[in-house]
Amino acid sequence: MIYLLVGVGIGFGIYIFLVETLFKSSKCKGNAVMAGRTVIITGGNTGIGKATAMDLARRGARVILACRNQVKAESAISDINKRTGSTDVVFMHLDLGSLQSVRAFVKTFLKSEPRLDLLINNAGLVADGRTEDGFGVEFGVNHLGHFLLTCLLLERLKEGPHARVITLASMAYQWGSIDFDKLHTSKDLGSGRYSWQFFAAYCNSKLCNVLFTHELARRLKGSSVTCYSVHPGVVKTELSRNVSLWQKVFIEPISTLLFLDPEAGAQTTLHCALQEGLEPLSGGYFCCCSLQELSGRGRDDAVAKKLWDVSERLCGLS
């Protein structure tokens, strides 16, 4: 009996430790006025993106859900409108796995929307396969699609007084690496059908997100636009919807017990969107609504610049 009690005590202690560290939650306290401001959220029809859209719509922002699936987006909009009273949430088609779709989205947006105050690069996935343009899907969607989207919207962002770009990264960036030779030969930073290969490619794409933000901040110095990367926490979302059934069987009980819900996962994004006075911290990496120190690989100036140059070439911007 005593061994059982000791085991339960140890298990409970581990649970408390995890809840207070790896699975710690936070609360956004920012209260910037959003009425009259326009926001784009990629992947805003579900998970963290939808929770972010819900909060910003409640504050009076005009929210553009940039999503691939119109049916899911319209369902999300109906729910958001019902729960917030907003009538200013709209869908625009965007498939981040298609550079042509990104360009079409930007063309439509610039014609129909006179301002852009906040761009939230939220969408992401864990999966194998290729994009329409032949890139590894995690690199193509998680990084390259957002890279092109941001670059094409920069001039509109600069027209506003205090525009921001927020990119959802992950603490997984710490285990990522960028093999430029492999990227050149295979248009990918990792692929394979095993879970560890999915995860390795995901880590690489999240390192791209962090380095993109680092270099973007350098290029935006002196402008009215600032940028931030975010680790939202370990959140129960549809991110892993493409993993195998047995992996879901393993993940589901753990996620139910420990993972944050999407509303909690949106708090650091909302902090970077709503907290006043963050401008001097442009390029920073945030977690639990506070600035975190990046590891060396996340602030490597030379790699960040090379990634930018290579991304421009791959997107046809140079």
Catalytic annotation, residues: 202
Distance CA 151, CA 144 (A): 11
Q: Is residue 166 within 8 Å of 118, Cβ to Cβ?
A: yes
Q: Write down the residue that tokens 């140079």 correspond to.
A: 318
- Amino acid making up residue 148: L
How far does the chain reach from its first CA to its final CA, in angstroms? 70
Give the Cα separation of 130 and 128 in Å (integer): 7
Give whole-number Cα distances, 238 to 127, 199, 230, 262, in Å: 12, 15, 18, 10
